[in-house]
Chains A and B, each alone.
Chain A
Amino acid sequence: MTFTADEMMAVEAARRLRNDNVCFVGIGLPSVAANLARRTHAPNCVLVYESGTIGAKPTRLPLSIGDGELAETADAVVSVPEMFAYWLQAGRIDIGFLGAAQIDRHGNLNSTVIGDYATPKVRLPGGGGAPEIATSVADVFVMLRQTPRAFVQQLDFKTSRGDRVRVVVTDLGILEPRDGELTLVGVHPGVSVDDVRAATGWALQVAEDVAVTEPPTVLELEALRALEAAGHE
């Protein structure tokens, strides 16, 4: 089956989740990947949305982090102060999936502004849960389309810290920290190392043994397409 770069990204990110993980999920690409994992190899993976829904099992992709279906299918629904204090801050969540507008070579993320903070060129929505997700979960997974505008030498604003970023899955390949710097360790089928270098705003470190990502299986693609075809509520 043929597949798009976005589908490859979603599938490869989903593969990173294990069946016994508890995962804090943001809306957008991370929600697609986490829900795909639940429908394929990780049916028991616990999805936590910041609206307070713990163990949500949506049948369709939610449009927002607080869609009704998340509450209806959750094991528990807690208040927002409880979510951030008792669950996230207390270290009960293994994995945090984050997206951003910009990332630097250390995995620091910007979702706040493009340009100067006081006189921004583009005012983005802001950090939301990200600053504390990035420092409270054991492992941060980042999903981001790879372009020179997103993979920058210098962030316009540091919204969250990169210390716990373990992997960045993009539409072109896979980066992992090596000696404190994001390093290209895998490329998706049909993508060259030079393609990824050209899409990166810094001199990208490349591992000696760059792997080629396993293409999506029929099962993975069908599950992903079924999820997306079901659409939002």
Chain B
Amino acid sequence: MAEIVTLAEAVRELVHDGDTVALEGFTHLIPNAAGREVIRQGLRDLTLVRMTPDVVYDQLIGMGAARKLVFSWGGNPGVGSLHRLRDAVEHGWPAPLELEEHSHAGMAAAYAAGASNLPFGLLRGYAGTDLVERTRVATITCPFTGEELAAVPALRPDVGIIHAQQADRHGNVQLWGITGVQKETVLCSSRSIVTVEEIVDELEPRPGGVVLPAWVIGAVAEAPGGARPSYAHGYYDRDNEFYVAWNVISRDRDTFSSWMQEHVLGAVPA
């Protein structure tokens, strides 16, 4: 049952060194404030999971929080590379980063399998690509038709972290707009944290809204603006200029480190 706590408390209680942690968001509702809190608390040796690692994963990797990354597309959307991710992979700075790389379709199937408590996800995919040699995927034969399909191991993170627009005072959560794989992230993880823009008396049903009942969530923390520089549909827009600026901030190790010192390590939790 969701406890309503501060973000700092939620991270302290539920995230541990060495955990597999998925901070999900598909461009929209990226849990940036939670990611920055993970950095502030100095967590180490994390296996980070995300379909589309972007700025907050670049920050986590650049600050040395990650040992391994499970992902399907790691870039700065519409801008270019993630320089801290590249530096870790290409030069081992600040530490080598192990990669487990999938396609979007493969990761989406693996999340859905985890949420369904199945051992693997099934899809028509990966065939004829070099990914097969480099990732965890196997061929499985359909017992009914004989068709050969791809099987990907289910994602079962220790902690799933997402950001949503609202929770009520019992810890029931609603998110709407582009909802990505956030429902699956909460349902496939052993523990979960949901940060929200606001806590309201009553959730009002929204078109396309995804509701997660309090009893599947570990902790809810109010974090207004917690998706920035990503956006929260109905609250604020995506800060596209920041994504462009990040390309410059992150390019150089020293510039990155001093920016993180000033804007993340020195900042109080949202």
Interface residues of A (CB under 8 A from B): 27-28, 50-53, 62-68, 70-71, 77, 79-81, 83-85, 88-89, 112, 117, 120-132, 135-136, 157-161, 163, 232-233
Q: What is the bound-complex CA distance between A232 and B241, given in angstroms?
A: 10
Contact of A65 among B77, B90, B208 (CB under 8 A): B77
B17 in the interface (beta carbon within 8 A): no
Partner of A81, one of B111, B125, B210, B243: B111
Is the CB–CB distance between A122 and B86 below 8 Å? yes
B35 smallest CB distance to A (angstroms): 17
User: Are the CB atoms of A81 and B78 closer together than 8 Å?
Assistant: no
Please give me the 8 A-B residue pairs with the lowest Cβ-Cβ distance, nearest first: A66-B27, A125-B75, A128-B73, A64-B77, A63-B78, A132-B105, A84-B105, A131-B103
Q: Measuring CB to CB, which residues of chain B are less than 8 angstroms from any residue of chain A?
A: 26-28, 51-52, 71-75, 77-79, 81-82, 85-86, 89-90, 101, 103-106, 108-109, 111-112, 123-131, 134, 177-181, 183-184, 208, 210, 231, 233, 237-238, 240, 243
Q: Which residues from chain A contact B210 at a C-beta distance below 8 Å? A: 79
Task: Select the residue from A64, A85, A117, A161 with max chain B CB neighbours within 10 A.
Answer: A64
A83 → B minimal CB distance (Å): 8
Which chain B positions have C-beta within 8 A of A67? 27, 238
Question: How long is the Cα–Cα vector from A64 to B108 in the complex, in angstroms?
Answer: 19
| Cα A64 to Cα B29 with chains together (Å) | 13
12 contacts between A and B (CB under 8 A): A50-B104, A51-B26, A51-B28, A52-B178, A62-B78, A117-B134, A123-B86, A129-B73, A132-B104, A135-B128, A233-B237, A233-B238
Known: A64-B238, A131-B125. A79 touches B233 (CB 8 A): no
Q: Are the C-beta atoms of A158 and B233 separated by less than 8 Å?
A: no
Task: Decide: A66 and B72 in contact? CB cutoff 8 A.
Answer: no
Question: In whole angstroms, how far apart are the Cα atoms of A160 and B73 in the complex?
Answer: 14
Q: Is the interface of A mostly helix, strand, loop or mixed?
A: loop
CA distance A159 to B131 in the complex (A): 7
Please tell me which one of the listed residues A52, A63, A126 contacts residue B180 in the complex, with CB atoms under 8 A apart: A52
A51 touches B27 (CB 8 A): yes
- Residue of A whose beta carbon sits closest to that of B51: A80
Chain B residues whose C-beta falls within 8 Å of the C-beta of A128 in the assembled complex: 52, 72-73, 103-104
Asked whether A132 lies within 8 Å of B125 as measured between CB atoms, the reply is yes
Q: Is the CB of B89 within 8 A of A126?
A: no
Q: Are B129 and A158 touching (Cβ within 8 A)?
A: yes
Across-interface contacts of B103 in A (CB, < 8 A)? 127-132
Closest CB of chain B to A87's CB: distance in Å? 11
What is the CA–CA distance of A157 and B101 in the complex, to the nearest angstrom?
13
Q: A67-B238, A68-B231, A112-B130 are in contact. Are A126 and B78 (CB under 8 A)?
A: no
Query: Is the CB–CB distance between A66 and B178 below 8 Å?
Result: yes
Q: Find out whether the CB atom of A127 lies under 8 angstroms from the CB atom of B77.
A: no
Partner of A127, one of B27, B127, B131, B243: B131
B181 to chain A, nearest CB (A): 5
Given A80-B104, A80-B180, A85-B108, A123:B85 Cβ within 8 A? yes
Complex CA distance for A40 and B105, rounded to whole angstroms: 32
Task: Report the Cα distance A129→B106, complex, angstroms.
Answer: 9
CB atoms of A63 and B208 under 8 A apart:
no
Please determine whether B178 and A71 come into contact, CB atoms closer than 8 angstroms.
Answer: yes
Other A-B pairs beyond A66-B178, A135-B125, 6, CB < 8 Å: A51-B26, A64-B77, A66-B27, A80-B180, A81-B109, A131-B105
List residues of chain B with CB within 8 A of the CB of A84: 104-105, 108-109, 123
A131, B126: Cβ atoms closer than 8 Å: yes
- On chain A, the residues within 8 Å of B75 by CB distance are 124-126
In Å, the complex CA distance between A112 and B103 comes to: 11
Q: Does B181 lie within 8 Å of A66, measured CB to CB?
A: no
- Of B71, B127, B178, B208, which is within 8 A of A135 by CB? B127
Q: Which residue of A lies closest to B76 (CB)?
A: A125
Bound Cα distance A87, B134 (Å): 27
Collect the chain A residues with CB atoms within 8 Å of residue B129's CB.
127, 131, 158-161
Q: How far is the CB of B133 from chain A (nearest CB, A)?
A: 8
| A64 contacts B208, C-beta separation under 8 Å | no
Is there contact, CB below 8 Å, between A27 and B77? Answer: yes
A97 to B107: give the CA distance in the assembly, Å: 21
CB of A133 to closest CB in B, whole Å: 9
Q: How far is the CA of A165 from the CA of B28 in the complex (A)?
A: 31
In this complex, what residue of A is CB-closest to B30?
A66
B240 and chain A: residue at smallest CB distance = A63
Q: In the complex, A28→B81 CA distance in Å? A: 14
Whole-angstrom distance between the alpha carbons of A79 and B28 in the complex? Answer: 12
Question: In whole Å, how far is B237's beta carbon from the nearest beta carbon of chain A?
Answer: 6
A64 touches B27 (CB 8 A): yes
